[in-house]
């Protein structure tokens, strides 16, 4: 349907449902629950993600208690967990369930949906100049599939046999045989169903993000004028769209193995001296558990970039904005994201060096793995180059961005060790690995989440700002505390302390580190409680925070700061602004900042002698 | 919503683009399964067997259904409603026949002693062709919806409104893209099974 807008050009309304432009009163359900507005969906993703983060981090605190004080009894645990902590001591099976759920929840629900889901939804239409996603309906479905995935996982926490406990990687045969452990019974089935729903959610979201970025950019917004956040979300979506279907394939085969007697992953398994048979009494044979590892890590490795790329994009954007300098090497940043995306698909077997993989194949994966260091290093140099001699505003979002860079460097360096198949033999499945991926992926992406929330809070909650003082306290405790948690784990790992062990007090070799484990747990408790400062700040600011007085509180160049303080569905009340330049023109031509949407003629007409940038 | 300039609307429609991406995800899923097939086959302990002949007949049927859909789309664009409706109905019928033939082919396979459980070589054929059939069923669902919509309407105003809709070709184009895709996907799978059996 054709409509004429503000006399400048004829616009075509591509979609039929244009009811939002009329600003009629929406019902509570369509505004807050089944909303198709990308900004509301983004809030839904964020709040759901935060709730899951509380659960996921709480679980880690519970198993840290066990690791620090294995012989201690905590009556409160029995009160909270009942039969899973009889006598105030965690049951070994439940310890594994906690570890599994912590991994699953943090990787998928918090750092994938909560991070990429929130900020892709919020920022893509706002920063490229679109009224909404390509398909707002699919976008809504994406959230509700995520919600469903979460609900299934939540139910699995409360069933009598407990949630899945075979590790977040769900390796068979542990995950394929319901008899393997209590968590491999109904809990594992629910885990697989939940993951299937989550894959659907990610795919629907990813399709939308890619389509929107490629097709719905405003006039003048060429690809190379997009903020780096957009490039990051774009390649994140590409990674998800290409890798999540493979996880689904792997999960489907696992479901067949579990419930329909196939043996894709099972072979020659003996329980109590008796060979395992299917329902028809035939031997289970011919399967390969390594096959699942290949399918899983073909997703699993790109997944870590799905987690980290959005954080990288937001950090690049925030560092440039808050140091009042252009991003150092914009096209190098874009190309390094592209390189990471391509390499992400060629390195999955570095998780499987000790699975019996052919060492010659292993050496190819070593090569590609170490190659990732090149684009990663380019990004690190460019972040440092961006803030170098900048006029930095040390707001909490800047601090978290700098913290992100610090964590990415410390965690990335240990990746070089682990990427070597020879060094991986002693280090595999030790606390060294735990330290590496928590710092480089978990903490760094978590910091990315904080960067996004602190920076774009006014866009999330109707122009309200977060409290900076609480933000500073939150940052310093989290930053120092996190290093205190994970740095000592490198030493544990180097001496060979294996991960996923319930209790070390029976092993003389590992028991000498018990005081270090106590230290780690104390740091973990400190960081855990510091997050409540953030939560209080978040809730209080969302409801009563100081309202921003101007449209553009950070003097930022990108388009999201041209929308009204409380934008309706459709984002801009009038025409969508056109774009005339890249997003990081700070401190150029004698101007502190040069917004993307202001034409050159308006900027420099008063001083014609000033050269254009 | 999504007001865009005339120039932009000449580009591929976002919804069609999203569909193409969606087809890409289905390709990745089957690429995952068929590479799992190859990796597993290379590991040995692999039972070789002949494919059931009905697979070849079902291939003909789904190819034929693609052909009828091409002509259905053409008559839709020529505003030839009756021919469109009939050809769409024929496509739907052939789609259903395809799924029934796939089921019959499984029965043939089971007759050879190749069951879903047992050596993974057989399990793979069942699971992969089954997942493909599930995607065909999705297409059948949409064919049914389109067929019901194509049935003669009593309200001439509604028909007229549909005629002036600038996007009226989009749904049928998206449906054909999907349907041809699942057809081609099956041909790929058949060639794959034949070559690596």
Q: Which fold has domain B47-151+161-195?
A: 1.20.120
* Chain A residue with the nearest C-alpha to that of B32: A246
CA distance B182 to B176: 10
Q: Given pLDDT bands bounded at 50, 70 and 90, which one contains residue A124?
A: very high
**Does a structural domain hold residue A9?**
no
Sequence ranges of the domains in chain B: 47-151+161-195
User: Residue A13 is nearest to which of B3, B26, B124, comparing CB atoms?
Assistant: B3
pLDDT value of residue A5: 42
Chain B residue closest in CA terms to A11:
B5
Task: Find the CB nearest B119 among A131, A253, A286.
Answer: A286
pLDDT tens digits along A146-160: 999 999 999 999 999
Tokens of A42: 């983004």
A452 phi/psi in degrees, rounded to 5 = -60, -45
Report yes or no on A26 lying in a domain.
no
Q: Indicate the Cα dihedral angle B11, B13, B17, B20, nearest 10°.
A: -110
Residue whose structure tokens are 């909490």:
A396
Please determine, for residue B66, whether its predicted confidence score (pLDDT) is greater than 80: yes
CB within 8 Å of chain B, chain A residues 213-232: 214-216, 219
Say yes or no for a CB contact (<8 Å) between A244 and B45.
no
d(CA B80, CA B172): 14
Q: What is the pLDDT of residues B138-184, one digit of tens each?
A: 999 999 999 998 887 777 777 777 777 777 888 999 999 999 999 99
Residue range(s) defining the domain that contains residue A506: 38-269+283-604
Evaluate whether residue A349 is within a structural domain.
yes
Chain B residues lying within 8 Å of A242, measured CB to CB: 24-25, 28
In a domain, A253, yes or no: yes
Tens digits of residue pLDDT in A369-384: 999 999 999 999 999 9
> Is any Cβ of chain B less than 8 angstroms from the Cβ of A262?
yes
Say yes or no for a CB contact (<8 Å) between B117 and A214: no
Question: What pLDDT is attached to residue B133?
Answer: 96
CA distance B31 to chain A (A): 8
Q: How far is A109 from A59, CA to CA, in rounded Å?
A: 14
- Given an 8 Å threshold on Cβ–Cβ distance, is B18 in contact with A248? no
Bigger pLDDT: A1 or A285? A285
pLDDT above 90 as % of chain A = 73
Burial class (CB in 10 A: 0-12, 13-18, 19+), A537: buried
Q: How far apart are CA A232 and CA A116, in angstroms?
A: 10
Query: Do the beta carbons of residue B73 and residue B172 sit within 8 Å?
Result: yes
pLDDT at A17 over 70: no
Can you tell me the mean pLDDT for A518-523? 96
Q: Which residue has the tokens 């299917």?
A: A278
Q: Interhelix angle for A118-128 vs A38-68, to 10°?
A: 150
Contacts of A256 in chain B (CB under 8 A): 116, 123, 127
Total of domains in chain A? 1
Residue of B25, B47, B118 with shortest CB distance to A241: B25
| Burial of residue A532, with CB atoms counted within 10 A of its CB: 0-12 exposed, 13-18 middle, 19 or more buried | exposed
Tally the residues of chain A: 613
CATH of the domain at A473: 1.20.210.10
pLDDT at B61 over 90: yes
Instruction: Answer whether residue A191 shows pLDDT above 50.
Output: yes
CB nearest A263 (choices: B5, B26, B120): B120
Residue by residue, DSSP assigns A247-268 as: HHHHHHHHHHHHHS---SS--S
B134 lies within 8 A of chain A by CB:
no
A394-442 pLDDT per residue, tens: 999 999 999 999 999 999 999 999 999 999 999 999 999 999 999 999 9
């Amino acid at each position: 349907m054709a409509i004429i807008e503000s006399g400048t050009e004829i616009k075509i309304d591509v979609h039929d449902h244009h009811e939002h432009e009329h600003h009629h009163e929406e019902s509570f359900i369509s505004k807050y629950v089944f909303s198709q507005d990308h900004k509301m969906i983004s809030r839904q993703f964020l709040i759901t993600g935060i709730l899951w983060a509380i659960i996921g981090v709480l679980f880690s605190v519970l198993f840290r208690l066990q690791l620090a004080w294995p012989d201690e009894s905590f009556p409160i645990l029995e009160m909270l967990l009942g039969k899973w902590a009889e006598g105030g001591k965690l049951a070994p099976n439940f310890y594994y369930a906690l570890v599994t759920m912590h991994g699953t929840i943090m990787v998928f629900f918090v750092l994938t949906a909560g991070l990429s889901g929130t900020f892709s939804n919020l920022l893509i239409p706002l920063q490229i100049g679109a009224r909404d996603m390509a398909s707002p309906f699919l976008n809504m479905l994406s959230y509700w599939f995520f919600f469903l995935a979460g609900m299934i996982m939540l139910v699995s926490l409360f069933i009598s046999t407990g949630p899945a406990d075979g590790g977040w990687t769900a390796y068979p045969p542990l995950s394929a045989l319901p008899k393997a452990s209590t968590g491999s019974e109904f809990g594992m089935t629910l885990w697989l169903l939940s993951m299937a729903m989550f894959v659907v959610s990610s795919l629907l979201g990813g399709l939308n993000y890619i389509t929107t970025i490629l097709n719905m950019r405003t006039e003048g917004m060429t690809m190379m004028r997009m903020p780096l956040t957009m490039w990051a979300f774009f390649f994140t979506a590409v990674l998800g769209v290409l890798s999540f279907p493979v996880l689904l394939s792997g999960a489907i085969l696992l479901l067949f193995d579990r419930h329909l007697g196939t043996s894709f992953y099972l072979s020659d398994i003996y329980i109590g001296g008796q060979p395992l048979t299917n329902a028809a009494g035939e031997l289970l044979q011919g399967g390969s558990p390594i096959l699942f590892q290949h399918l899983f890590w073909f997703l699993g490795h790109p997944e870590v970039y799905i987690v980290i790329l959005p954080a990288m994009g937001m950090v690049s954007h925030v560092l440039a904005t808050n140091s009042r300098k252009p991003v150092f090497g914009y096209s190098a940043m874009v190309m390094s994201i592209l390189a990471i995306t391509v390499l992400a698909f060629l390195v999955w077997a570095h998780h499987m060096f000790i699975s019996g993989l052919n060492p010659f194949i292993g050496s190819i994966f070593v090569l590609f793995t170490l190659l990732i260091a090149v684009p990663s290093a380019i990004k690190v140099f460019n972040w440092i180059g961006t803030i170098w001699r900048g006029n930095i505003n040390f707001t909490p979002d800047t601090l978290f961005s700098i913290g992100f860079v610090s964590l990415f460097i410390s965690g990335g360096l240990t990746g070089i060790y682990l990427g070597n198949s020879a060094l991986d033999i002693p280090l595999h499945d030790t606390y060294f690995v735990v330290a590496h991926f928590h710092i480089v992926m978990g903490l760094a992406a978590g910091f990315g989440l904080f960067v996004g929330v602190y920076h774009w809070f006014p866009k999330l909650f109707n122009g309200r700002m977060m409290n900076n003082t609480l933000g500073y306290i939150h940052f310093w405790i989290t930053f120092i505390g996190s290093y205190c948690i994970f740095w000592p784990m490198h030493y544990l790992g180097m001496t060979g302390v294996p991960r996923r062990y319930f209790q070390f007090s029976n092993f003389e070799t590992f028991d000498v580190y018990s005081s270090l484990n106590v230290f780690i747990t104390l740091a973990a408790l400190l960081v855990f409680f510091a997050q409540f400062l953030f939560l209080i700040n978040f809730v209080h600011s969302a409801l009563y925070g100081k309202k921003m007085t101007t449209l553009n509180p950070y003097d930022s160049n990108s388009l999201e700061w041209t929308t009204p303080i409380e934008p309706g569905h459709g984002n801009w009340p009038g025409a969508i602004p056109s774009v005339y330049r890249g997003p990081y023109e700070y401190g150029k031509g004698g101007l502190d900042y040069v917004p993307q949407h202001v034409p050159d003629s308006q900027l420099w007409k008063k001083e014609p002698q000033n050269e254009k940038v | 919503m999504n007001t865009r300039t005339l120039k932009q609307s000449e580009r591929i429609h976002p919804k069609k683009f999203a569909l193409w991406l969606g087809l890409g995800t289905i390709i990745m899923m089957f690429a995952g399964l068929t590479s799992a097939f190859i990796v597993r086959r290379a590991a040995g302990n692999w039972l070789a067997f002949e494919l059931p002949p009905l697979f070849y007949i079902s291939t003909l049927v789904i190819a034929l259904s693609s052909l009828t859909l091409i002509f259905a789309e053409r008559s839709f664009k020529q505003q030839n409603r009756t021919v469109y409706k009939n050809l769409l109905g024929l496509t739907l019928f052939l789609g259903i026949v395809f799924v029934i033939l796939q089921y019959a082919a499984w029965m043939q396979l089971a007759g050879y002693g190749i069951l879903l459980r047992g050596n993974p070589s057989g399990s793979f054929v069942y699971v992969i062709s089954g997942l493909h059939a599930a995607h065909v069923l999705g297409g059948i669902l949409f064919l049914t919806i389109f067929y019901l919509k194509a049935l003669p309407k009593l309200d001439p105003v509604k028909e007229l409104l549909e005629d002036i809709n600038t996007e009226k070709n989009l749904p049928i184009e998206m449906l054909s893209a999907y349907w041809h895709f699942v057809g081609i996907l099956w041909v790929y799978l058949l060639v794959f099974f034949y070559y690596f059996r």
